Amino acid sequence: MKKALVCSVCGHILLTKSIPDVCPSCCSGTKIFKLFDEKENALHTKEDVAVSGETEKKHLPVVKIVDIENGYKNIYVTVGEIEHPMVKEHFISKISIYIDNELVSMTLLTKDLKPETNIKVKTDSKNISVVAQCNIHGSWITSI
């Protein structure tokens, strides 16, 4: 598990060490971020998957990055090496992509969508992280 700050208004997870004036996701004001380290709400990592069972393998984002033309990268994300279920009671609600710990993309999902997203972004950075949020099992991060 990893410690992180989370917006108490929208649930956006901060990966930066500094706290911004407003939430980059919902633009709510200051003093809205709280420490996100309680076991049931932790930001889970691949180390958690290693000590867990099959269910946890359905949550860790799988990230494929391909260099394309003019300095762009194609970042393709699926959730889980075993695809996460997408049903009314249990689904992936959000996939967030960070470059150099700054939010660059957030995909909101409903039960009717596949747990995946795809962006094309111009960047030279090799510091890319993806967070998937499950409505039951919390948040899961993959960092490249």
Q: Which positions lie near Fe ion, rule CB under 5 A?
A: 134, 136-137
Nearer to Fe ion by Cβ, of 40 and 69: the residue is 40
Nearer to Fe ion by Cβ, of 30 and 55: the residue is 55
Residue 48: CB minimum distance to Fe ion, A: 13
User: Residue 113: helix, strand or coil by DSSP?
Assistant: coil
Nearer to Fe ion by Cβ, of 55 and 127: the residue is 55
**Cα 72 to Cα 77: distance, rounded to the nearest angstrom:** 16
Nearer to Fe ion by Cβ, of 79 and 128: the residue is 79
Q: Which of 144, 45, 131 is nearest to 93 (CA)?
A: 131
Residue 51: CB minimum distance to Fe ion, A: 17
Residue showing the smallest CB distance to Fe ion in the complex: 134
Residue 90: CB minimum distance to Fe ion, A: 6
Residue 142: CB minimum distance to Fe ion, A: 15
The torsion angles phi and psi of 15, rounded to 5 degrees, stand at: -105, -10
- Phi and psi based region of residue 25 (left: phi greater than 0; alpha: psi -120 to 50; beta: remaining): alpha
